Structure 1
Amino acid sequence: MLQRIASKTRTTCPYCGVGCGLVVRRAAEDGAVSVAGDPDHPANAGRLCSKGSALAETLSLDDRLLHPLVNGQKVGWDTAIDLVADRFAQTTAEHGPDSVAFYVSGQLLTEDYYVANKLMKGFIGSANIDTNSRLCMASSVAGHKRAFGSDTVPGTYSDLDSADLVVLVGSNLAWCHPVLFQRLLAAKAARPEMVIVVVDPRRTMTAEAADLHLALKPGTDVALFNGLLAHLAASQAVDGVFTAQHTAGFDAALAALDGAGLAETAAVTGLPVADLNAFYDLFRRTGKVVTAYSQGVNQSSAGTDKVNSIINCHLYTGRIGRPGMGPFSITGQPNAMGGREVGGLANQLACHMELDNPEHRRIVQDFWQAPRMASRPGLKAVDLFEAVRAGKVKALWIAGTNPVDSLPDADRVRAALAACPFVVVSDVARHTDTTALAHVLLPAAAWGEKDGTVTNSERRISRQRGFLPLPGEAQPDWWIFAAVGRGMGWAEAFAYRNAAEIFAEYAALSGFRNAGTRDFDISAHAGITRDAYDSLPPFQWPLPAAGQPGIDGEKRFFAAGGFFTPDRRARFVPTPFRPARGATDERFPLVLNTGRIRDQWHTMTRTAKTSRLMAHIAEPFVELHPDDAAACGIAPGGLAVVESAHGHVIVRADITPAQRPGSVFVPMHWTDQLSAAGRIDAVVNAHTDPVSGQPELKFTPVRVRPFAAAWHGFALVAARPSGLATAYWAVAPVKGGGWRIELADTTTPEDWDVFAGELLGSTGAADSDMLAYHDGAAGQHRYAAFRDGCLSGALFVAPQPVSAARNWLIGRIGQKVADPRDRLRLLAGRAGEAGADHGVVVCSCFEVGVNQIATAIAQGCHSVEAVGAALQAGTNCGSCRSEIRKLINARQQLQNAG
């Protein structure tokens, strides 16, 4: 496949739904890549987060899948494609189209998604294609459709600039969408009268910047917003003209508010009456209100009702579609929106058409000239894998995602795949917990190698452009799906030569028999040429062909009605409060919440390649409130077992008052590739929202107990370890090469010298020597290994979690250490010199540690800006600014208390 590689490429970040533009440069002499924010891209205006800033460090071919494999053996593409096509054709012929399925990803580009959906829904004839966006935004889709008649995000990012009140619900924007968060803070700095309210059980870094934090009980968002609607109704804070002309169903929604009085709402949510009053009054008297929400709303067994309870409040006050007003769904993945637009969910068709609408099916079938159009919605993610387990789905193709780690009740998912007769995985990474179960592995192109488009949270479509050649035999996902389509006998329908042809077809379909009846229309680009596609600038939809109905130039929907229901009126949706499924009890008294952390992405196949992103948090952890930790017998920094009725993990304890009593938080990222027992979705229950099918990832009853370790260890090694047999381990790459390992076990090695030699790779090495210290009575053992006079590894063992200057030690790996006193200092694990130990990394962009920041604060840096001027920390992406502010506040509180 011919690729045109430029020395300077404008492309789009592959992480969250903000959709930041990038400028990538490749040096002519050595091909080295640098990545910077695109100052001309409207989504980010040049700003990047820590993950985006480190993208160039993730481009190695380490662990890349580079060739097709069948049962672990390398084969050619023709052999692999023929096998996949034959098995899917044979399975559908023998058992019907619903016996096969695709499970795809928001990591795919829109063109990839389009071809996959065309193949499954229009040619194989089943709607059994779902996406990991089901875990991300399905409740928003369902809520939008119930209220608006379409999956339409009404507003734009500029609404955050002009709003007077921004309500962030279930969104740790500071860590999960940092560029958007910094935009919000900049708007507040320019207009200090702006008020930010954060609704979240945890006091996240986002909440640290809020004017009001509502730490409600998990799962009670519907009660909170029902109470708000009741307050607005009692106060007659209604936009009577808007509701009369453009809405329907308010009386039914109002009737569902029984028990939504102030006292009742306070009792259900656990919030003080004064805080509820303050929030409700703010919302009532503030005209320009944006309610931005994310996974804390969507990932719930009542997620769709949460979405509609928010929308109801905006419809009642007419605060929608105008500058600075509206409900705003902030998407999690880079192309979750693009996937929704092409019908990536099992209950959708391309271009926001619906599977259960006969006219929509006819439109798509006629356009595609499809031989056997799917006639009913397919299986949603959780149900799909249950059907695999039950033997109903006999051939499954997984593309660009890792469901053995990301789906709830993940051990059950693993068992389902292990029992499936035929599993195909197309991916970038060779070794994941999912690829281990595949019969066929197909090497997909990665970010930096593939061409296509993505859509961000404000409906802005941007180009992702390749700037690296395809390695090995890797191919774009659309190419792979199209090749299988041709192999199954549909050569003409899948004869695409490049991504531009797919985009042109997709754009044409969006305008086919539309004439303003559907929200999604980009038919202005129907028939786009390859050159025009290559130079396509970012644009927001809708963008209909000339002469077709559209909306105003600001690209907002619904300010003057025009909803996509049959009567063009929005619907108020009754949302009676119902508690989350799976209540806590004496056996499992705590509520587990899962989510992201600042510097990691999904299951870390990309972000774990760079030591810079692993330096902030290097191992899986559980956040507990001090009261819960005391009740469970968990010590600060100790190891804890978090277990439910489904499974357990072993993770490090982070005891903090930022966590709500009765709740715990564990990040979603760790897998069996990087930890012994960190797959938190093995613990999560598989309850789903009855409307959206989105799983409940924020409410699983659990218990927490100490991990009974006989010893704890910290090690530095030159090569990535394999075959670690301890009950607990977590590995991470370190700067300059090598790996760090946290270790613990319930049994003690028979010979520590043997254990250390094998772990550090020093056994039998002629050019190495080992320095050791033993205190058998205290249970302490320390080793420093040297090769050619340079530190090549270290191991520290103690009965309790090891206390050592980890980052200082990491900085010594590979360095010459000749002075015996310096070697003894290494063996002690202490820097022994002022300023040498920078502490845990807070600012990933400039690798600034907590000790450096603390010193700067002690020396008079009493603002985030002052710390930035002294250390650069917080001056690039801004993701760490909330943490720096928290350190400053803690120092001031300590001084005030003294």
Structure 2
Amino acid sequence: MGSMSYSSRDAVEDIWGSRQGYKGTWPTRLDMHYVEEPDKWVTSACVMCSNGCGLDFGVKDGKIVGVRGREKDRVSHGRLGPKGLYAWKSLTHPDRLKYPMIRKHGKLERASWDEAMSLIVERTKNIQKRRTNHGIGFYTTGQLFLEEYYALALVGKAGLNTLHMDGNTRLCTATAAASMRESFGSDGQPGSYTDIDVTSCIMMVGHNMSATQTVLWARILDRLDGPEPPELIVIDPRKSNTAKKATLHLAPRIGTNCALLNGIEYFLFKKGYVNEEWVSKHVCQREELYKVVKEYPPDVVSKITGVPEADIEKAADILGNSASLLSTALQGVYQSNQGTASACQINNINLLLGHIGKPGSGIFQMNGQPTAQNNRETGCDGEFPGFRNFGIPKQMQELADLWNIELERLPHWNQPTHIGNMLKYIKGGLMEMFWVSGTNPLVSLPNLQYTRDVLTDQRLFLIVQDIFPTETTAIADVVLPAAAWGEKTGCFTNVDRTTHISLKAVEPPGEARSDIEIFVDFSKRMDFRTKDGSPLMDSADPEKMFKSWQGLSKGRPCDYTGMSYEKLKDGVGIQWPCNEEHPGGTERLFSDGVFFTDTEYCESFGHDLETGAPWTKAQYDAVNPAGRAIFKQCHYLPESEAPNDEYPLQLSTGRRARQFHTRTKTGRTKELQDRDPENYIQISEHDAKELGISEGDMVIAESRRGQIEVVARVGGIYKGQVFTTMHYGYFDSQDGRARAANELTQEQWDPVSKQPMFKSGAVKIRKVPPPSSDGEVQIHAREKQSTAVKDLEDRSSAFAGPKDVHKDEGKLERMLEYWLGATYTTFQTLDDICEHLIPRVEGADLEIAAGMRVMHRINKTCVDKLTPSIKYYGIDEKLGHELSTALKNRLFPNDIIEAIGSPSYGILVVLQGFYLFLGHIEGHLFSLQPTSQAAWDKDFDEAIKFCTVQVDRMKAWTKQQMHSRGPQTLLVPCKQAVGMRERIEGEVKQRGEMPMLS
């Protein structure tokens, strides 16, 4: 091979490589690229998409000089895509962050690690004192290693005891996790990549695999090129490279996936394709699903989606007649209208056919990032570590015991805070410190102008930890230089649950540190300790952290206890669960037809897919899944921002094969950047003709939120729809044009997964006017990133260090005392209500009078139980007293029974008023339940729980009385009812209004 550069192929132009048709076992092919012949090869895997291809780093003289695929790797069989073959070159780019920086006099200046970390600790403690730990939030990535996420989870959940932790996995895989929790009881991909090798049918929904996972697409291309190729159904609004290979391409209108999938399910039922025997044993809620999908016949679905009726039926026929089925989904589902609901319908299709847990049959709710799975497993975004359920006390106690912290310190009062809410808290001044690691929200979050405004807020202390300067580091108060892939050791897990180890090949540049070192250093400086006084984390050794994680994963769906660094160094990859029962890993889940849905084991109790409201444990128990999968149904709902005359085109965003996310690495890789240097917007031939736009014209795309000025590409998409790519920001912008897709997108979130709906919203497009007569190029949609950075620098220029606008802010006051005071006065008012009602109802109904005496006694126990917390926190009763008194007077007018003239009807009215007032109390308690836990006050928490149980008892009595009296009172004619309306109206007219209880 010689000592100079070598490439096995030109992967920039030949993205997927040559075909090797097969069925059964995918042939190997060794992809390789190096600039100098290496002295040694170091085991790793590729982090440039979610596929997780086995890869070795070539090292010479302490530098990475190349990469090669690993032929024995179970994921890639030696192949690498264009990003995998070339993006490693970015690691030596001169832009690399090498030293900590602190903003001084408006500018970021080099600092020592001690200075930077001391400042972070100082600000943390200051915010803890003034705002509590809930004034601090973390936002991480999908590209750290498992061990680093686990260290971050310990910092946030066990050290600072906060729920304010999310990751940019919220933007790409939150719906994948949510849909698996809804259908199967827990996160965890059911399928295996080996299913591709034997399946008879593949269905891809909103998944342009040719761009997002190029090596996986090569595997499918090879199957299509071999004997007995599978049928391929592609559901995508665009005629993508994936769609061009389809047996059947369905192109629904953007945002109508749920209707189309309901329509396919309609045919599966109607034509008898449902595997009724298997479904009856292994899935629940069949009838509930059928009641919904029967309302989606082909004529209805075609009108909603634009897909021909015959094609909907043909899709169902292909699926129903296939011996096996592998389904995949990605951002075209997750980032669209009704993302979780649509993803669950994909699960439903496989379940209806019984195509899960066996060779050739499975589901990939795909990930978008290389280590997104580990983020979810360790609990750094919307989950709890080990896929634990915060609603199951036993699971939370287990987690607290494993971490050796008090249960009340474990933040488990709610689901972790998603990024959308954290931005609101920052904007409202309730969160003052935001720690961003390995991600670039000033390009990747929706509605960038809103995001810029929030993250440049004068009150915010922003820490950004990354390997390169980005749009987000440009506005940070502190920048921490991180070691990159290849410069540290750790594990990561891909979308089919295959775990690889990536060994440290070279030293990081300058003073850059691994993320695990940074988090452990922070923990030590903050002196985080367990309940027995030992350090929460005493070592940044990744293998030691991995072993700690293994103990926490034991017995959970993502069980790692059978793995080890030594086993992983073999370089094949191991699928979890890997334990004593499965020491070599588990190829596919649910092969026994048993799912993760047992009530005490499941990760979630699920949600109402339309409203997003979580199911209670009681609702879940009523379904009684008991190890069965769950059919989750949902009606189609149109998206909120539909096209109109002003904004006539529907927007979608997506990816390109040669770029990755916000191009932090690929934008600094010459081979990749030179080939795809700029953004574009794709428009249909029909719409282009209407607007006078030709291929290559510069156009302005505008939404209600912002504008971009980019090149037009004509064709390959359907009328009324446009597409632009999400990769391009401003770190390397040359001409000042706005080009980031998220200038256009809206911050609307899926009701269940809270994933942004990037593929939604309406835009208009116009052609840019030609250059002026003097040939000067004008910018019509100017980028706002530079202005935001300059404004921040100007505002901060007077500060010798990071701005601290809170230094002289004066007294802060919290709202707990008002809400707690209002709660206390509602109980006092209820006491007053009972005292006045008892004598008034006694003459009409002795049973109700006796019951009211019991209610009176129960209420007094609530007042007594709350009193110690009232004394401890102090309260302000005035506002609460006025509101509860006004409500009491409205609900219980004086002489109501006599005024109505019918004692039985009057009693019913009294009971209804009593029930409504209890609901008023319940609303106060409902907000205090998580608040008491977030205050880490065990006595306060127990008092609120006690009162909640007592109010539930009182409501239950009231409901039972209304339930038993209703039919007789309302259905049986009686003399007292004659003229009742006139009597009531006369009474009201005479008195002006009914006299109220004093």
TM-score class, shorter: 0.7 to 0.9
Give 1:91 deviation, angstroms.
Answer: 1.1
Query: In structure 1, what is the Cα distance between the partners aligned to 2:270 and 2:317?
Result: 12
1:646 aligns with 2:738: no
In structure 2, stretches of 5+ residues that fail to align are 1-37, 530-534, 600-625, 784-998
Please report how far the alpha carbon of residue 386 of structure 1 lies from its aligned counterpart in structure 2 after TM superposition: 2.3
Decide whether aligned partners of structure 1 residues 162 and 559 sit closer, same or farther in structure 2, where only a CA change above 3 A counts. farther
1:427 aligns with 2:466: yes
After superposition, what is the alpha-carbon deviation per residue over 1:560-616, rounded to whole angstroms, capped at 9, x for unaligned? 224333211111111211122211111111011101111001111111122211233
> What pairs up with 1:489-508 in 2 under 5 angstroms?
489-490=527-528, 492-508=535-551
Conserved in 2, the CA contact under 8 Å of 1:643 and 1:683?
Answer: yes
Do the aligned partners of residues 553 and 597 (structure 1) sit closer, same or farther apart at CA in structure 2, a change above 3 Å counting? Answer: closer
Compare the two structures and name the one with the higher helix fraction.
Answer: 2
Partner of 2:305: 269
Alignment of 1:198-213 (within 5 A): 198-213=234-249
- Cα offset for 1:464? 1.6
Contact 2:149 2:378 in 1 (8 A): yes
How do 1:310-709 residues align onto structure 2 when only pairs under 5 Å count? Answer: 310-346=346-382, 348-371=383-406, 372-375=409-412, 376-419=414-457, 420-430=459-469, 432-490=470-528, 492-511=535-554, 514=555, 518-525=556-563, 528=564, 538-544=573-579, 546=580, 553-566=586-599, 567-656=626-715, 658-675=716-733, 676-709=737-770
Helix, strand or coil at the partner of 1:666:
strand
Letter in 2 for 1:700: G
Matched ranges for 1:150-229 at <5 A: 150-229=186-265
Aligned counterparts of 1:307 and 1:229: Cα–Cα separation in 2: 13
Partner Cα distance (1:612, 1:665) in 2: 24
Contact 1:262–1:276 under 8 Å retained in 2: yes
Letter of the aligned partner of 1:422 in structure 2? F
Partner of 1:11: 44
- Offset of 1:92 from its aligned partner? 2.2
User: Is the CA contact 2:93–2:668 (under 8 Å) kept in the aligned structure 1?
Assistant: no
Distance in 2 separating the partners of 1:450 and 1:729: 40
| Pair 1:159–1:532, CA change in 2 (3 A) | closer
* Whole-angstrom CA distance in 1 between matches of 2:422 and 2:302: 39
In 1, Cα distance between the equivalents of 2:499 and 2:751?
31
SS in 2 for 1:351: coil
Q: 1:543 to 1:249 in 2, by over 3 A?
A: same
Task: Give CA-to-partner distance per residue, 1:833-869, whole Å, 9 cap, x none.
Answer: xxxxxxxxxxxxxxxxxxxxxxxxxxxxxxxxxxxxx
Aligned mates of 2:722, 2:361 — CA distance in 1:
33
Deviations 1:601-639 (A, max 9, x none): 111111112221123322111000111112223232111
CA deviation after TM superposition for structure 1 residue 256, in Å: 1.6
Shift of 1:224: 1.4
1:6–1:467 contact (8 Å) kept in structure 2: no
**Secondary structure, counterpart of 1:24 in structure 2:** strand
Q: CA deviation at 1:174?
A: 0.8
When normalised by structure 2's length, the TM-score is: 0.68
CA-CA distance at 1:535 after TM superposition: 5.9
Q: Secondary structure at the match of 2:204?
A: strand
Counterpart of 1:57 in structure 2 is 89
- SS of match in other structure, 1:166: strand
**Paired letter, 1:352:** F
Residues 265-302 of structure 1, C-alpha deviations (whole Å, 9 max, x = no match):
11111011221121111111112111111111111241
**2-side partners of 1:572 and 1:489: how far apart?**
47
**2:435 alignment partner, SS class:** strand
Whole-Å Cα distance in 2 between the matches of residues 174 and 683 of structure 1?
25
Work out the CA distance in 1 between the residues paired with 2:211 and 2:329.
14
5 Å-filtered alignment, 1:290-301, equals 290-301=326-337
Cα deviation for residue 659 of structure 1 reads: 0.9
Q: Partners in 2 of 1:648 and 1:222 — Cα distance?
A: 29
Q: CA offset at residue 534 of structure 1?
A: 5.8
Q: Which has the higher strand share?
A: 1
Q: In the alignment, is residue 144 of structure 1 matched against residue 180 of structure 2?
A: yes
Q: Which amino acid aligns with 2:411?
A: A
Inter-partner Cα distance in structure 1 for 2:775 and 2:436 = 37
Aligned to 2:70: 38
8 Å contact from structure 1 (residues 621, 652) kept in 2: yes
Which of 125, 142, 149 matches 2:161? Answer: 125
Whole-Å Cα distance in 1 between the matches of residues 782 and 137 of structure 2? 36
The residue type paired with residue 82 of structure 1 is: S
How far, CA to CA, are the matches of 2:774 and 2:112 in structure 1?
A: 45
Secondary structure, in 3 states, of the residue corresponding to 2:234?
strand
What SS does structure 1 have at the residue aligned with 2:191? coil
Query: 3-state DSSP class of the match of 1:688?
Result: coil
Query: Does the residue aligned with 2:456 lie in a helix, a strand or coil?
Result: helix
Could you tell me whether the CA contact under 8 Å between 1:155 and 1:557 is conserved in 2?
Answer: no
Q: What is the one-letter code of the residue matched to 1:642?
A: A
CA contact (8 A) 2:141 2:167 kept: yes
1:353-377 CA-partner distances (Å, limit 9, x unpaired): 1233322221111111135211222
Answer whether contact 1:35 1:55 (CA < 8 A) is retained: no
User: What secondary structure is seen at the aligned counterpart in 2 of 1:354?
Assistant: coil
SS of the residue corresponding to residue 462 of structure 2 reads strand
Change (3 A) 1:713 1:8: farther
1:127, distance to aligned residue in structure 2 (A): 1.2
Query: SS of 1:398's equivalent?
Result: strand
The Cα offsets for residues 465-504 of structure 1, whole Å up to 9 and x where unpaired, read as: 2212121110011111111111111261121231111111
1:53-92, aligned counterparts within 5 Å? 53-71=85-103, 72-92=108-128
Match for 1:51: what amino acid?
K
Q: Is contact 2:575-2:587 (8 Å) kept?
A: no
Give the distance between the partners of 1:187 and 1:595, measured in 2 at CA.
26
Does structure 1 conserve the Cα–Cα contact (< 8 Å) formed by 2:203 and 2:326? Answer: yes
Distance 1:712 1:115 in 2: 60
Mapping for residues 785-824 of structure 1, pairs under 5 Å:
none
Q: What is the identity percentage for the equivalent residue pairs of Structure 1 and Structure 2?
A: 29
Cα distance in 1 between the residues matched to 2:501 and 2:64: 22
**Residues 255 and 638 of structure 2 are in contact (CA less than 8 Å); yes or no, is this contact kept in structure 1?**
yes
Change (3 A) 1:725 1:660: closer
Moved more, 331-340 or 356-365: 356-365
Q: Structure 1 stretch 372-381 or stretch 113-122: which is displaced more?
A: 372-381
How far apart are the structure 1 equivalents of 2:369 and 2:202? 22
Where in structure 1 are there 5+ consecutive unaligned residues?
Answer: 716-723, 731-898
Change (3 A) 1:240 1:258: closer
RMSD after superposition: 2.2
